[in-house]
Structure 1
Amino acid sequence: MPYLTCNAESAIATCDPHSLKKKKKPKSPAQAQPVRHFAYSDILDATNNFSADTFLGKGSHGTVYKAAFHGGALVAAVKITKPKTSNEIEILSHLKKNPRLVNLIGFCNDQTQTNNINNNKLIVVEYMPNGSLHELLHSTKKPVRPPSWTARVRFAVQVAKAVRLLHSSEPPVIHRDIKSSNVLIDEKWNARLGDFGLAVRGHVADSRVPPAGTLGYLDPCYLAPGDLSSKSDVFSFGVLLLEIASGRHALDVRHSPPSVLDWAVPLVRRGEFKEICDPRIGAPPDMAAFRRMAVLAARCVRSTPERRPSMVEVLECLTAVRKCFRAPVMWKRIKRRVEIARGDLFHDWDRSEEVVRVVKLGSSSSRRNGKVSSVSGVEYEGGHANPAVRSRSVGSGSGLVGFGFKNRKGKVRLKRSRSMGSPVPLRW
């Protein structure tokens, strides 16, 4: 009994105060919005009757158009699927929405229309404004620059996350068509895996679907329905990884051998890793990390599926490689700041030893009248630095001449000097 009535004017609460706390609402198991059903007339209006202006591309599993619903409030991509690959709606509707996938928004299955185009199912998915990874890697347009090493490794990590998500879902999903043209780039320049027209959901041991895929990416061990496994996606991802590293098409008759797989794997075995690098952007900032990535790609395309790594292992390796690739870029930015800060004072010094690293500063008692009387452990090392600017006051120091230090909010900076003689070369 929550309340005990004493009289008409007062009441005593007898309930447990802890029971007054609001209970948290249980999270929905899917954590996804329901799939919307679009009227065919709405899709016609959104795509301007499937005009050429809204045409985005045509693949092996359907044709894609750009659609603007509700006056542009919702911009999406409408895909006209082929009858034999209409399971894409079922696959995507059972997957949680994820930033690494091109997620499903809705579909159209209005059979009342007489237009021939409506004989096939229409699916509405998220719109990716920056094209595909294939276009970024192989575009011949002059203003378009090939992706940097940092961007390429980031794309590889993001695709690996998408494939791992599919393989770890319950039941697992095998994509069967991992390739650069099915990796789309969103508005934030992140990679997403799309086109699930050939995907298979469920236990592959009972699968009756015939082998399918794209030449150049297709696992040679996948010759019968019973041969399908998650390692088939690992093989395709390995080919994609070699394509990202080299900038070559997975299959290109202009080269000999035409397959990037037959060309790159022997180079990996011989240790000629620089020959694999895309010549348009040169060698990566960390060759040791690049070697790990190249060896990983060679492991993914092994002829024996059991010897190939899982996507969990692939993602762990690529994540470590990405950390190594990001570090030199960070130090390069700091190095540039130091170059701007020091001006013409350092123009005669060795350019390879450009960045200052403060190891240990003198005690606060060594500062006299705003000057630093002793500074120990200051050295120059290529690629490691704290941002530096010139000093206002000059004292003397061990290992460094002509600099004073000033501490602001825990940061050590070099300030410009009012009186500075000729620069004295540092010795270290």
Structure 2
Amino acid sequence: MDWARCFSPGREEDLFPPLPTTSLKKFTYKKLRKATGKFNAGNRIGEDTYKGTLRRGLHINPPVADRDAPKTMEVIVRNLSRGLQPGDLPKCLNEIKKLEKISHPNLVHLVGYCAEPDRRRENRAYCFLVFDLVKNGSAHDRLLDYEKPHKPLAWERRIRIAIQTGLALEHLHEHGVMYRTFGSRCVLLDEELNVKLSYAVFPKLNVYKTIADLHKEADPTLTPESITMFLSRAPELFTSYSTTKENDVWGFGIFLCELLMGKPLSSAPDQETPVLDVLMKCFSDRSIMETSMDPRLIRGEQRFYDPATVLKMVTIAGMCLQKRPEARPSMKQINKLLDKISESKVEYVDEELESFDH
């Protein structure tokens, strides 16, 4: 393909050719900017991620089956443009082609993409992925945002979320897709609270920070959000740009802790204290376990969780949080261990059942 002609003047839609595919829709930057209200802060739902509304294609004589279909569709728009140059666009398209082939019940559906040079700045380019909107928010919202009026996740639901997330993450790893910093914001939940993992990341194309920036991030302002981001980042990422499956395994270990505790593993990040030591201290015996568990799973004397299963999940999380990347298990190994954890049941009386998501 003659990439040079892609940058010649012409209609905005012609600035970059569509992928040789029949399933993904190519969007222009102009259309995505309009869909998100010019990337309005009110539509921001995560780092470089926005909620948007797109008009469906209108036809003069649409098929009868399509005439009653909604005229708009709600989407998630993920901006992958930071630090991107026109010469990176062929790599972007190759990565998008890989993502198109990935399909799993617990992955969010990829609708389309945008990949085009910035007409105003010669050394900049745009790359966006467009996904179906998953309307029930993220596991982060359910677990760590106490201000939102959600019912607490029931114990059985948390086990299922852990299992579904593990399977989806293993599937991504098998296809060479890695996050670098996996966290609970990536775990979206559909109307029935099934996992729909968001996977809109191209870490190898977005290496634009310096080592000094990484060290600066190691001392965040102590807000709940920055603490969570700090802990989700594997230790090796503060000194290198490694993008490995082991990075994600660390983040999955932190996610398991959040499912149990309903809060960040530590209220004050401290690089001198290994995260694994903090985890063990929180669950060293049953009395300490009860103070560490999500308080929404406790009603007076009633404990709406299974202590034996908690200890098994803590053990798995501990394996994920080994400081040396090579000591961490693969997601395939982790999922074999999660398979052995039955969805342990706890007893609910009717009025208590109504206060949980089931």
Q: Work out whether 1:130 is the aligned partner of 2:130.
A: no
Which of 101, 105, 127 is the equivalent residue of 2:107?
101
Cα distance in 2 between the residues matched to 1:65 and 1:233:
25
Higher relative contact order by CA 8 Å / sep ≥ 6: 1 or 2?
2
Contact 2:92 2:127 in 1 (8 A): no
Q: Work out whether 1:230 is the aligned partner of 2:245.
A: yes
Which of 40, 51, 65 is the equivalent residue of 2:51?
65
Q: Work out whether 1:309 is the aligned partner of 2:329.
A: yes
Superposed CA RMSD:
3.9
Shift of 1:305: 2.9
Q: Name the CA shift for 1:289/1:84 in 2 (closer, same or farther; >3 Å).
A: same
Any stretches of 5+ residues in structure 1 without a counterpart?
1-31, 202-206, 337-428
The residue identity in structure 2 corresponding to 1:280 is R
Which protein is richer in helix relative to its size? 2
Contact 2:141 2:148 in 1 (8 A): no
Which of 256, 281, 295 is the equivalent residue of 1:241?
256
Query: Which stretches of structure 1, 4 residues or more, deviate above 6 A after TM superposition?
Result: 85-89, 207-213, 257-260
Cα distance in 2 between the residues matched to 1:266 and 1:249:
14
Which of 152, 156, 163 is the equivalent residue of 1:150?
156
Cα distance in 2 between the residues matched to 1:254 and 1:156:
24
Q: 2:23 matched to which residue of 1?
A: 34
Contact 1:239 1:261 in 2 (8 A): no
Contact 1:219 1:235 in 2 (8 A): yes
Q: Name the CA shift for 1:196/1:63 in 2 (closer, same or farther; >3 Å).
A: closer
Shift of 1:246: 0.8
Cα distance in 1 between the residues matched to 2:138 and 2:103:
20
The residue identity in structure 2 corresponding to 1:39 is T
**What percent identity do the matched residue pairs reach?**
24
Q: Name the CA shift for 1:66/1:259 in 2 (closer, same or farther; >3 Å).
A: farther
Cα distance in 1 between the residues matched to 2:240 and 2:255:
23
Between structure 1 and structure 2, the one with the greater Rg is 1
Q: Name the CA shift for 1:252/1:234 in 2 (closer, same or farther; >3 Å).
A: same
Q: Name the CA shift for 1:250/1:181 in 2 (closer, same or farther; >3 Å).
A: farther
Cα distance in 2 between the residues matched to 1:142 and 1:223:
32
Any stretches of 5+ residues in structure 2 without a counterpart?
1-20, 57-69, 218-228, 351-358
Q: Name the CA shift for 1:73/1:188 in 2 (closer, same or farther; >3 Å).
A: farther
Q: Name the CA shift for 1:217/1:143 in 2 (closer, same or farther; >3 Å).
A: closer
Q: Secondary structure at the match of 1:265?
A: helix
Q: How many residues align?
A: 287
The residue identity in structure 1 corresponding to 2:114 is C
Q: Name the CA shift for 1:74/1:254 in 2 (closer, same or farther; >3 Å).
A: same
Which of 320, 331, 350 is the equivalent residue of 1:300?
320
Which of 219, 232, 236 is the equivalent residue of 2:234?
219
**Cα distance per residue 1:190-239 (max 9 Å; x no partner):** 222225335459xxxxx999887942112224465586532222111111
User: Within 5 Å, which residues of 2 pair with 1:20-419?
Assistant: 34-44=23-33, 46-50=35-39, 55-59=43-47, 62-70=48-56, 72-84=71-83, 90-95=94-99, 96-111=102-117, 120-141=126-147, 143-169=149-175, 172-200=176-204, 214-222=229-237, 225=240, 228-250=243-265, 252-253=267-268, 262-269=277-284, 272-282=288-298, 283-321=303-341, 323-325=342-344, 328=345, 332=347
Q: Secondary structure at the match of 2:311?
A: helix
